Amino acid sequence: MDRLLISGGVSLEGEIRIAGAKNSALPVLAAGLLTREPLTVCNLPHLVDITTMLQLLGCMGVQRTVDEKMNVQVDASTIGNLNAPYELVRTMRASILVLGPLLSRYGEAEVALPGGCAIGSRPVNQHTAALRAMGASISVENGYIRARADGRLKGARLFMDLVTVTGTENIMMAATLAEGQTIIENAAREPEVVDLANCLKRMGADISGHGSDTIVINGVDELRGCRYDIMPDRIETGTYLIAAAATRGHIKVKDTEPPALESVLNKLEQAGAALRVGKDSIELDMRGRRPKAVSLRTAPYPAFPTDMQAQFTALNAVAAGTGSITETVFENRFMHVHEMNRMGANIRVEGNTVIVEGVDQLNGAPVMATDLRASASLIIAGLVSRNETTVDRIYHIDRGYECIEEKLQSLGARISRMPVR
Ligand code: UD1
């Protein structure tokens, strides 16, 4: 297990390139199960979660080929079993994304039931209820979801009780090969859902309304392979911009997609950042000034993303003034707060809100990462601290941030990875 060592106090300066979006790449790779033709996925980020998804497809018998440009071809014509084992599902909840495609194309699937995780209980009842409404019989036995369809799934009008990103993606994939029309109401509008829909359409699916809260899918008999470029990662983009704002720096992020970041850019401007937004780049300049505290509330897209609140908590910790951050998507996403307080932050939790009173400076300390985005927030806290910070359990960060220490080093940060024996 590695840890990160950070010597804080440097303002980030320079340019970096943004990787492909993890949360888009995972469902797109799962979509490879929907066709017997090869699907080539380009702009894949180099992340542990992507390796886990490829491993999962591999253990079902899907062939994976990597070309010299690191594009990955998945070929499900060789699929041998329809089982997603617990050993992989427990390391990555997004493994549930194979359920819809497997059931729709092969009429059966066995997927380990994902457990709770550090940020909440995270059930998958919306996924299974919608598949049942499409005619599947589903039971949970020995910790596995066992799903079966008698012939093709049937299109249905589905109202999702709550907005779920992977739930919408799972059902959208299942509906592409179902008989008749499926309408998903109260669908997730996240850009990654739109990216998946665009890939499925290129594979021959008949989908409309993606990006709105009503998605209409007319089932087709079969899908074909294609080549698809994953959209840039908006959460990675936002994380580097927040790190630059917190350290009073000046950076440019390239190969990104600014329209997907509107709510985040809005908050950065409120924090005092000067932004220059290009077609596929964002330049942020704090002109050496201390950020101002911001208040925000997370909610499904296009509102402020839950995956960015922990990073803003780190910014608020050293900002001028008091900011409040309310989390409405997950029930337990404030684990980073206690670690930041150990670094001298002044943060208190009141129900699903954290109140952050900015202090002049944080002090480095050994801290422990608890989940992916919490790890990113602790790195930002380390970058704005006096002295040294060590962040333990960084396997969380390797799940979602490609080469984070190299990218931060190229922006001038003093950060290195140390193996722990
Ligand atoms: C996805 C993202 C994750 C992000 C989250 C919210 C991927 C791979 N992950 O996760 O980074 O933080 O969206 O934007 O895309 N819920 C239920 N029943 C269900 C499904 C969800 O109660 O069947 C609840 C969850 O517990 C949570 C809320 O709905 O409280 C939203 O979760 P959801 O959108 O499903 O998150 P994920 O798709 O798992």
pLDDT in tens, 338-366: 999 999 999 999 999 999 999 999 999 99
- pLDDT given at position 416: 97
Check whether 280 has a pLDDT greater than 90.
yes
What's the whole-number mean pLDDT along residues 220-227? 98
- pLDDT given at position 395: 87
Nearest to 234 by CA among 395, 41, 45, 69: 45
- pLDDT given at position 116: 64
143 Cβ closer than 6 Å to some ligand 1 atom? no
For residue 22, which atom of ligand 1 is closest to its CA?
Answer: 8
Whole-number Å distance between alpha carbons of 128 and 137: 9
For residues 41 and 228, the answer to whether their CB atoms sit within 8 Å is yes
Check whether 315 has a pLDDT greater than 70.
yes
The bridge status of strand 63-66 relative to strand 83-84 is: unpaired
Whole-number Å distance between alpha carbons of 63 and 54: 9
Q: Kindly tell me the burial class for residue 235, based on how many C-beta atoms sit within 10 Å of its own C-beta (0-12, 13-18, 19 or more).
A: buried
pLDDT confidence tier of residue 122, bands split at 50, 70 and 90: confident
What's the whole-number mean pLDDT along residues 112-132? 85
* The model's pTM: 0.97
What's the whole-number mean pLDDT along residues 326-339? 93
Whole-number Å distance between alpha carbons of 266 and 306: 15
Check whether 115 has a pLDDT greater than 80.
no
Read off the pLDDT of residues 261-277 as tens digits, 9 standing for 90 and up: 999 999 999 999 999 99
What's the whole-number mean pLDDT along residues 309-316? 98
165 Cβ closer than 6 Å to some ligand 1 atom? yes
State in Å: Cα 342 to ligand 1 middle: 29
State in Å: Cα 164 to ligand 1 middle: 5
State in Å: Cα 259 to ligand 1 middle: 22
Read off the pLDDT of residues 57-94 as tens digits, 9 standing for 90 and up: 999 999 999 988 889 999 999 999 999 999 999 999 99
How is the beta sheet containing 250-254 ordered, strand by strand? Answer: 13-17, 250-254, 281-285, 274-277
Rounded percentage of the chain residues whose pLDDT exceeds 90 = 92
Read off the pLDDT of residues 7-31 as tens digits, 9 standing for 90 and up: 999 999 999 999 999 999 999 999 9
Residues constituting the chain:
421
